[in-house]
């Protein structure tokens, strides 16, 4: 066997490097397995995607749900199939949910009879399903990239120079923390707001509060998460403390639910690998932050969730859950939407995903494309598609639908296919140049699962309501209103920031039940005018 193809074993590691990997909770066996498979060519067939075009909003495969006027028809589906799919969810279309009541309409085209659903009808159907939809977050990463100086400066130098004093104040607090335990927003008075996780837990309690008792089955919307070996214990300690949080405790007592109980799957950490400029075969990156024999511990991509959370998904199905929503922790716009649940239930499709129209700050994540065989796929910027290819599509006038990293899965389809997805989801390597050095990381990207699905719904959503993702600390600060009124910041960034800030205020008030009093967002049940 040639040296380039020789499998590396744990005994081949420098003892100092091996000890460092153990100290950093790196799964050495998994790290070496990925390394050896890369060097032997097992991943070579996962090529960059060359898109044939961008799917258009057609009302069936891509459904525009931005306009929520109560009497607006949002979705239509063949009547016979819609009735059968709703029956599987125990929802008869009668009484208030009937054609006679005006929330539904029938439309005949030749021999085909369809039902047309208004926003009002979809919300009513979705609320009936809400309690049977588990809510999950991908909690496995730390805020290392989030507070990375190089990555944050790359958004825009002028913006960063304005944000820098605030950035430096919060970067030290965030660095090496699980991102879910960092502030989701900064209050107008400059103080840190509720954490991402506090908001997620509060949204569930508010959903329970908004339902009448006849629709409150137990268990109600169970919470689940993927953590990592590096942060699981820290997160579990934080949940214990969260029971006393002012954002959770009074509300939990009112609705009679435990506020911070999570089902967990723990993701192993793997090491970073050498940068592609160092050639092949790859080795383990062993100069993190310039220190000899120092590895860099990283999660292997959120796509490993289908392997890590397999038993959790099976457990949820066993508890009577029909759907499972999964989102990145950093998006405060990712909440369980009754309209989306209803559309998914009516269609009977195995999954639905949120997409917003791409903005200048959407530099890390995936976009929806039509591939050369006519199928749809989500391709990640960097690992799967080059930024210059996206810019080419934009120059052609195509509206780019950017993946919001939010999906709802039908567990009746997902559970039987978990092993297949874990095996077939692409493994991609991407080069990084961060404070830790120049290296490459191996990732399975969650949302490339769409290429393995027989079909799915793509929801076209309003970015400022559904996709306030904080991939970088600078983005969170911009969304919190920092820099949006400084005329030295490029106009496009200021306009984007204003929209995001407006959306943040709407979400904090209408989804998370907060009121801004004396410069701080407070729980409305505790806020005093």
All domains of the chain in start order, with CATH = 49-68+122-523 (3.90.550.10)
Q: Where are the alpha helices (DSSP H) in 46-195?
A: 79-88, 119-129, 149-153, 157-174
Banded model confidence at residue 468, pLDDT cuts 50, 70, 90 = very high
- Residue pair 182/514 in contact (Cβ under 8 Å)? The answer is no
Segment among 171-175, 189-193, 238-242, 290-294 with least mean pLDDT: 171-175
The whole-angstrom separation of Cα 392 and Cα 424 is 29
Sign for the pseudo-dihedral over CA of 142, 145, 149, 155? negative
Q: Which two tokens stand for residue 46?
A: 């996962």
Q: How far is CA 71 from CA 104, 105, 116, 465, in A?
A: 9, 11, 11, 20
Task: List beta partners, residue 403.
Answer: 355
Distances from the Cα of 166 to the Cα of 163, 254, 351, angstroms:
6, 37, 40
Contact 503, 331 (CB under 8 A): no
Q: Which of 395, 390, 391 is nearest to 369 (CA)?
A: 390
Angle between helices 232-242 and 196-209 (to 10 degrees): 50
d(CA 128, CA 385): 40
Instruction: Please tell me the distance from the alpha carbon of residue 397 to that of residue 399, in angstroms, as a whole number.
Output: 6
pLDDT above 80: residue 3: no
CB atoms inside a 10 Å sphere around CB 435: 14
| Residue 5: predicted pLDDT | 58
Instruction: Note the pLDDT tens digit of each residue in 34-73.
Output: 999 999 998 887 766 677 778 888 898 999 999 999 999 9
Q: What is the pLDDT of residues 269-301, one digit of tens each?
A: 999 999 999 999 999 999 999 999 999 999 888
Q: What confidence tens digit (pLDDT) does each residue in 299-332 have?
A: 888 889 999 999 999 999 999 999 999 999 999 9
Q: In a 3-state reduction of DSSP, which class is residue 142?
A: strand
- CA separation (Å) from 318 to 88, 90, 136, 315? 16, 17, 16, 5
Cα-based distances in Å from 124 to 103, 320, 460: 10, 20, 20
pLDDT in tens, 338-347: 999 999 999 9
Q: Band the pLDDT of 474: cuts 50, 70, 90.
A: very high
pLDDT of residue 310: 97
Q: Tokens standing for 453?
A: 């699905």
Per-residue pLDDT, 455 = 94
Separation in Å, CA 138 to CA 405, 410, 458? 10, 18, 20
Which residues make Cβ contacts (< 8 Å) with residue 177, sequence separation at least 6?
Answer: 142, 143, 234
Q: Is the pLDDT of residue 456 over 60?
A: yes
Chain-centroid distance of CA 416 in Å reads 23
**End-to-end Cα, the chain, rounded Å:** 75
166, β-bridge pairs:
none
pLDDT tens by residue, 90-129: 998 876 677 766 678 888 888 889 999 999 999 999 999 9
pLDDT score for 2? 42
Label residues 11-39 b or e (16+ Cβ within 10 Å = b): eebeeebbebbeebebbbebbbebbbebb
């Amino acid at each position: 066997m040639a040296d380039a193809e020789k499998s590396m074993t744990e005994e081949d590691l420098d003892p100092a490097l091996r000890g460092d990997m153990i100290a950093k909770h790196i799964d050495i066996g998994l790290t070496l397995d990925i390394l050896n498979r890369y060097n032997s060519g097992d991943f070579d067939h996962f090529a960059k995607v060359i898109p044939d075009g961008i799917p258009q909003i057609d009302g069936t495969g891509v459904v525009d749900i931005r306009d929520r006027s109560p009497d607006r028809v949002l979705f239509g589906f063949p009547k016979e199939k819609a009735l059968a799919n709703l029956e599987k969810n125990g929802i008869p279309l009668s009484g208030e949910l009937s054609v006679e009541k005006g929330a539904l309409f029938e439309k005949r085209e030749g021999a085909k009879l369809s039902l047309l659903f208004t926003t009002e009808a979809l919300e009513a159907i979705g609320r009936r399903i809400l309690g049977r939809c588990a809510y999950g977050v991908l909690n496995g990463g730390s805020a290392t990239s989030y507070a990375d100086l190089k990555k944050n400066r790359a958004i825009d130098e002028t913006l960063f120079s304005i944000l820098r004093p605030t950035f430096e104040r919060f970067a030290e607090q965030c660095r090496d923390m699980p991102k879910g335990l960092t502030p989701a927003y900064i209050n107008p008075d400059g103080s840190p707001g509720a954490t991402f996780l506090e908001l997620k837990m509060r949204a569930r309690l508010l959903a329970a509060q908004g339902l009448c008792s006849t629709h409150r089955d137990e268990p109600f919307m169970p919470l689940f998460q993927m953590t990592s070996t590096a942060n699981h214990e820290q997160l579990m300690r934080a949940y214990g403390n969260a029971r006393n949080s002012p954002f959770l405790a009074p509300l939990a007592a009112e609705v009679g639910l435990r506020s911070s109980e999570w089902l967990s799957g723990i993701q192993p950490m793997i090491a970073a690998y050498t940068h592609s400029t160092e050639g092949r075969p790859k080795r383990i990156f062993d100069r993190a932050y310039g220190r000899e024999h120092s590895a860099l511990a990283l999660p292997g991509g959120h796509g490993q969730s289908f392997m890590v959370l397999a038993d959790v998904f099976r457990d949820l199905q066993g508890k009577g859950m029909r759907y499972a929503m999964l989102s990145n922790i950093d998006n405060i716009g990712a909440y369980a939407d009754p309209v989306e649940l209803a559309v998914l239930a009516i269609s009977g499709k195995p999954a639905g995903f949120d997409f917003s129209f791409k903005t200048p700050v959407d530099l890390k994540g995936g976009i929806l494309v039509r591939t050369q065989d006519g199928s749809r796929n989500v391709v990640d910027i960097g690992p799967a598609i080059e930024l210059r290819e996206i810019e080419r599509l934009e120059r052609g006038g195509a509206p780019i639908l950017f993946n919001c990293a939010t999906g709802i899965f039908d567990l009746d389809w997902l559970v039987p296919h978990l092993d297949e997805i874990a095996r077939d989801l692409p493994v991609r390597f991407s080069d990084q140049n961060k404070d830790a050095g120049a290296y490459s990381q191996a990732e399975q990207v969650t949302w490339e699962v769409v290429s393995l699905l027989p079909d799915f719904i793509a929801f076209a959503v309003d970015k400022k309501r559904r996709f306030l993702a904080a991939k970088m600390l600078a983005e969170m600060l911009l969304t919190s209103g920092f820099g949006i009124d400084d005329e030295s910041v490029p106009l496009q960034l200021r306009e984007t920031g204003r929209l995001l800030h407006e959306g943040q205020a709407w979400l904090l008030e209408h989804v998370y039940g907060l009121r801004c009093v004396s410069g701080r967002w407070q729980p409305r049940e505790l806020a005093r005018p």
